[in-house]
Chain A
Amino acid sequence: MSDNIIINADEFSKTVEGGDQYIPGVIPRKTVYGDAPGLVPVGDVPDVLIDMADAKEIIAHCHEWRIFPMYHQENSWAPDGFKWNQNGLGYCWTWSGTGDVMNCRARENKPTVMLSPVSMGYLVNWRNNGNYLESFLEGARKHGIAPASCVPDQHSRNPRSYSDDWEEQALKYRIAEDGVWDTNKSEMLRHCLSILQNGTSCHIAYNWWGHALSLIGLIWDESQTNNVRWVIRNSHNEDTPIEMTGRRGVPDEAFGVHATVTT
């Protein structure tokens, strides 16, 4: 039995849409699967795609061997009890994506370096705005993410308070060229599990929530829609991952960050 917070997305969404919980932190993608610059359609890597008939066994295998990124994450930058907090900023798009880059580095067995999500604020001119996930991914690919050591206040949108070399340091923590897999909404569960089974987490968005998060695993649960619970690292100061269930627990967007540059 998991100690994670379990959220039924179908019920939760009723309180979110148009309500106080709606945080417009992510803007629905403009591009379509297979036609997104810099993103590799996961369906173009045929043997990566799983057969959904094997999903139960694959999920069990990924837990047995601790392949899911939830394990890499826990063993590196987000140990048990760690809180990941965007602190009211509309920056879920970078908190989640930065987590995915750190997850990828953990899977690659690179040294754990805490990165600073707020340093990506230049993508929205340092305003407290939502953003496209693709914008974050392009920024992280071209310019990287500054290490937290360069940013004294992890929620400061004033780059003058950062170290002089923060942009230079960020270049060390970039997503590699062709380092992101794209997914198709119509096959979201299959595509996400295909990515997760390689130890790669997914930068995801729920449009009904206007929120971006990081998908780090799946739990087989035949009492739930699609027989799964979606294990997610949220950035609302929780000290455990959350688990989404229900029809609306299926992400609207997902991008697998599977390679970072060599540093």
Chain B
Amino acid sequence: MTCRERRGFIFVAVLLCTLYSCTCGVIAADVPTPFDVVAKQPVIGPKIVAPDTAPIGTMVHVEAAVPEDAKLAWAIDPPTTNFVVDTNGRLAYLTGPVSRRYLIVLSVAYGDKIHALTHPVILGDDPGPGPIPPGPDPIPPGQKYQVMFFQESNDLDNYNRDQVIMVASDKFKDDVDNAGHAFLRALDLNSITSPTTICVDDVCKPLDDDLQPWYRAAKTFKDKGNKTPFLGYSPREGGKDIKIIPMPKSLDEFWKEIGGKP
């Protein structure tokens, strides 16, 4: 092969490679790409990027494809503590232990525009059309639980003696723990409205508190018009929904609710 022929061969090879890579690029746009790559795609209009269905046990990544300066507010219906928004607000994660239809709602504000976006996600087998059952995911019976009580100690008018035992007795705590459950806290719900940030020299940061999902669940329950005191419980192994109910009226009712009466 002469030098001229060699140059011609190289030119053709380079051209073919260029055409091939462009073609590959077009194809790649239609193929699911790693999440961090999707996040870098140019944004044409605000939208929620998430699958429509996912098996139970997987973590569904939900992305807000929005302009960088947009302000976001997430919500999910029905409410679940298994829907978490990450710190920059652009990503959210949904998981869940049972089949359920969810509707993710995202309010997007940028410039002088406000968009309300929705995206349905079905976890597990489609439970079918119809109203979404209210309340948290059901908790299987016969479990050992984490237990937390929420009271309002300046509003004790409806507390009976057994209820005071539940929030103030050292023996009762031992009974709960000895039954295999875990007594977490007996808190004044009003104390949770105290600042949950530490501010030093105008720099504020959230307090470390891994019980925040419990507080949110209790507050949500109260915001629905329920009157304290409340009992919250969730499977001891963690990672499951927190069930909030009015505090049982008696110790017998309490033990009937969570099991393991001493």
Contact B156 A47 (CB under 8 A): yes
Question: Considering residues A44, A107, A261, which has the most beta carbons from chain B within 10 angstroms of its beta carbon?
Answer: A261
Contact A198 B170 (CB under 8 A): no
Within 8 A of B (CB), among A42-90: 44-48, 61, 64-67, 71-72, 75
Contact A172 B198 (CB under 8 A): yes
Of A48, A109, A259, the residue contacting B188 (CB under 8 A) is A259
Contact B188 A179 (CB under 8 A): yes
Contact B207 A259 (CB under 8 A): no
Within 8 A of A (CB), among B155-176: 155-159, 161, 164-165, 167-173
Closest to B212 in A: A262
Closest to B205 in A: A168
* A263-B153 contact, Cβ under 8 Å, with A67-B164, A67-B170: no
* A66-B154 contact, Cβ under 8 Å, with A109-B184, A176-B194, A261-B194: no
Q: Which residues of B contact A48 (CB under 8 A)?
A: 156
Contact A67 B168 (CB under 8 A): yes
Question: Separation in Å of the B231 CB from the closest CB of chain A?
Answer: 14
Of B154, B165, B200, B211, the residue contacting A67 (CB under 8 A) is B165
Q: Which residues of B contact A258 (CB under 8 A)?
A: 153, 188
Q: How many interface residues does chain A have, given as a range?
A: 35 or more
Q: C-beta contact mask, B188-229 vs A, less than 8 Å → 1, else 0?
A: 101111111010100000011101000100000000000000
Q: Which residues of A contact B188 (CB under 8 A)?
A: 108, 176, 179, 258-259
Contact B186 A108 (CB under 8 A): yes
Of A172, A199, A262, the residue contacting B187 (CB under 8 A) is A262
Contact A108 B155 (CB under 8 A): no
Contact A262 B169 (CB under 8 A): no
Within 8 A of B (CB), among A9-58: 40, 44-48
**B interface residues with partner A (beta carbon < 8 Å):** 153-159, 161, 164-165, 167-173, 183-188, 190-196, 198, 200, 207-209, 211, 215
15 contacts between A and B (CB under 8 A): A45-B154, A47-B156, A47-B159, A64-B171, A67-B169, A67-B170, A71-B170, A107-B186, A168-B198, A171-B198, A176-B191, A179-B191, A198-B164, A200-B168, A259-B191
Known: A109-B185, A263-B207. 18 other contacts (CB 8 A): A44-B154, A45-B154, A65-B169, A66-B169, A71-B170, A108-B185, A108-B186, A108-B187, A109-B186, A172-B207, A176-B194, A179-B191, A197-B168, A198-B153, A261-B196, A262-B191, A262-B207, A262-B215
